[in-house]
Structure 1
Amino acid sequence: MEAPQDVPAPALLQGRFSGREVFQQAVRDAFATAARDGWSDIILSDANFHDWPLGERAVIESLQAWARTGRRMTLLACSYDDVVRRHARFVRWRGVWDHILTCRRCPGGDLLDIPSAIWSPGWVLQRLDSERCVGVAGSEPERRVLLRETLNEWLRNKSVPGFAATTLGL
């Protein structure tokens, strides 16, 4: 599914933001832009993705348009229980596209310590206070590098594989 060519993509948030609705719209806009611009690599990180709009039809349509060979997405969370309970469309999409997704969990991670962020090669968003949905977003190289280094530390040293695409029962 290709993103419509005649519909202008939303402008990505730049600078400070505050509020759950602003954050959720920024997530929607990020996925729409990823589909339109063909971002090759995306990292999503949050303690539990509880208040992310991952299960919304528009988000899944954007992810479907984004997904293809050569694309990679990494998810990092303390737990995926809320994803399974709250984002059924995303869970189904994840099962289909398992070959381009890597899911990691931080079993010993503190819910307040794990970054709440989206990283891409050209733009990032990071909530500095998840409870109040306060954060920053932007395209500045130093912001992207710093967030990537932080996420790499969590992915390499503080996480294990998690959130299987299928569950096997006996």
Structure 2
Amino acid sequence: MELKDGVYESRDEIQQLLRQVLLLCAEQGGRELCWMDSDFTDWPLSDGPLLEALHGWALPHRRLRLLAADYEPLRRAHPRFVQWRQLHDHVIAAKAFDRAEAVERSQPSPIGVVLAPGLLVFKRWTPTRASLSLRNAREEATTLEWFDAIEQRSNDSFAGSTLGL
């Protein structure tokens, strides 16, 4: 499947698209990646080639900003990603958001987002509907503004390690 601007309307096509988008971001993404989902369980975060690409991407000057309503399903579904997260704690900022606050009252809000400034914006609207915009500065700016607003109202979560007393 070739990545191209447009709307995708099949669960299988969206899963394949998401895998390609994440790989492209890890291989060509810049200094910052922004990911948002309610729990990331249906993302391909246990995929070996993706984790290897993310490992190469995770240099000290890079930042992966994660937003989820709940990280516990991610911990159960993707233990390999959790290990990767622990190894690359220095590049990850993870926060938990309130689902009610993530919904824009004035317009439809996506249920999942991948934003790689200068590269692409992937938005999942429903489990069977998603859109992709490649190198669209206006779409990136509005998505980043929306993402930042949710992140500002969110709390730190999904720590790289658990400290005991």
Q: TM range, normalised to the smaller chain?
A: 0.7 to 0.9
Counterparts of 1:104-123 in structure 2 under 5 Å? 104-106=95-97, 108-110=98-100, 113=103, 115-121=111-117, 122-123=119-120
Change (3 A) 1:25 1:111: farther
**Uncovered stretches (5+) of structure 1, i.e. residues with no partner:** 1-9
Q: Does 1:72 align with 2:67?
A: no
Amino acid at match of 2:120: W
Q: 2:141 aligns with which of 128, 142, 145?
A: 145
Counterparts of 1:42-81 in structure 2 under 5 Å? 42-81=33-72
Change (3 A) 1:96 1:151: same
Q: Does 1:165 align with 2:160?
A: yes
Q: CA deviation at 1:135?
A: 1.6
Q: CA deviation at 1:109?
A: 2.2
Q: CA deviation at 1:58?
A: 2.0
CA contact (8 A) 1:105 1:162 kept: yes
Change (3 A) 1:18 1:97: same
Report the counterpart of residue 127 of structure 1 in structure 2.
124
Distance in 2 (alpha carbons) for counterparts of 1:90 and 1:133: 24
TM-score between both structures, scaled by the size of structure 1: 0.83
Amino acid at match of 2:8: F
Aligned to 1:90, what secondary structure does the other structure show?
Answer: helix
Over the aligned positions, Cα root-mean-square deviation in angstroms equals: 2.0
Distance in 1 (alpha carbons) for counterparts of 2:124 and 2:26: 22
TM-score between both structures, scaled by the size of structure 2: 0.86
Aligned to 2:40, what secondary structure does the other structure show?
Answer: coil
Amino acid at match of 1:136: S
Aligned length: 157
Q: CA deviation at 1:13?
A: 4.0
